[in-house]
Every structure is written in structure tokens, then in C-alpha cells.
A and B are shown apart, each in its own frame.
Chain A
């Protein structure tokens, strides 16, 4: 799933370590989220949304799979 995490984080001028610390996850998790290699749990998605004061849909871009 694509997301705007890196863009939002850079816009706020914070490092991956700082975001990870604020959310209580590892820096590698933030890196994997930004690369789109890892999809977060709904709890982490809510934490991210609260942190950036946005809705989950504003951060994560859901694209339906074409069959």
C-alpha cells in the first residue's frame, strides 16, 4: 500500500528515529512503512494518523487490486 509518510515526516522536519520514538516502534518499522514494504496494523495506522493530526485515508492510499 502506498502512503505519504515520508512526505509528511519531511514536511515536519523530523527524523525517522524521532517519529519511531513518538510512536513506540523501531526505526526500521518507519523505514519499511515509508518504502511501502510493510503495511501497519490498524492500531499503528491510528497512531500515525493522530500524530500527524490527519485521517488514515489522508496518509495511506488504498488502491483496489485489478483482477
Chain B
């Protein structure tokens, strides 16, 4: 299936979700799921429409498509992106740690702090997993 058709289908699915969420709210039943439908629907609709417009523009301009492909596969760009992500990860570990401490001092609900701790540990765990995996692969 063509990429542009896939994006259109995605946009349509997003629109359906968005409209369903709106109708759900208008029916008077106010719940989290309706707001979730609107949020997720709007996101999918935007992503689908954006992708479709990009595909349309690039299909008329093969030179720009070629340049875009070079930019995304360029080894220096990939290295820069990986380095930036690594720096962001390092910063995230400190930011998460500080947030946990601040939340504990603010006496925020234990469930919220535990969720944050679980997220923090999951991120660290994923880091360790990939470190070991890449050590075996490379």
C-alpha cells in the first residue's frame, strides 16, 4: 500500500476518534476516556495529515526527497542525534531524581511517587539492557 494512503487512513482514524470523543462529551457523560479520545484522536489526525502532506509534496519533487533521505541517513547527523539523546538521558536521570526527592518532601501521594520511581528505574533498566545487548552484538 502506498505511504500516502496509509497516512490518509491514519488521519481518518484520528478524525473518527476525535469526533467520537466530542460526541461522547456532548452526550453528557463526562469521563476521562472521552478526553483521552479527543487528545489521542487529535494527535493521530495531525500526524496523519502531516505525513500525507509531506508525501504529496515530496512525490512532486524527487530531488528534495533524495536530499531529505541523504540528511536522515548521513552518518554525522546520526552521530549528532545519538550524542544529543545521550546527553538528554544523562540530564533526565538527574531531573527524575530531583523530582522524586521534591515530591517526597512535598508529601505527595505515595502512589504518585512510586509510579515516578518505577518510571525512573524502568529507564535505567532499559539503559543497562541495551548496554549489555550492544556489548554482545558489537
CB 8 Å contact bits of B49-82 with A (1 = contact, 0 = none): 0000000000000000000001101111100000
CB 8 Å contact bits of A5-47 with B (1 = contact, 0 = none): 0000000000000001100111011001000001011011000
Interface size on B, residues (CB 8 A): 7
Among B73, B74, B77, the most chain A Cβ lie within 10 Å of the Cβ of: B74
Among A24, A26, A38, the most chain B Cβ lie within 10 Å of the Cβ of: A26
Interface size on A, residues (CB 8 A): 13
- Given contact pairs A28-B77, A29-B74, A38-B76, enumerate 14 new A-B contacts (beta carbons under 8 Å): A20-B70, A21-B70, A24-B70, A24-B73, A25-B70, A25-B74, A25-B76, A26-B70, A26-B74, A26-B77, A29-B75, A41-B75, A43-B75, A44-B75
Pairs A–B under 8 Å by Cβ, sample size 16 = A21-B70, A24-B70, A24-B73, A25-B70, A25-B74, A25-B75, A26-B71, A26-B74, A26-B76, A28-B74, A28-B77, A29-B75, A29-B77, A38-B76, A43-B75, A44-B75
- B residues sitting closer than 8 Å to A (CB atoms) are 70-71, 73-77
- A residues sitting closer than 8 Å to B (CB atoms) are 20-21, 24-26, 28-29, 32, 38, 40-41, 43-44
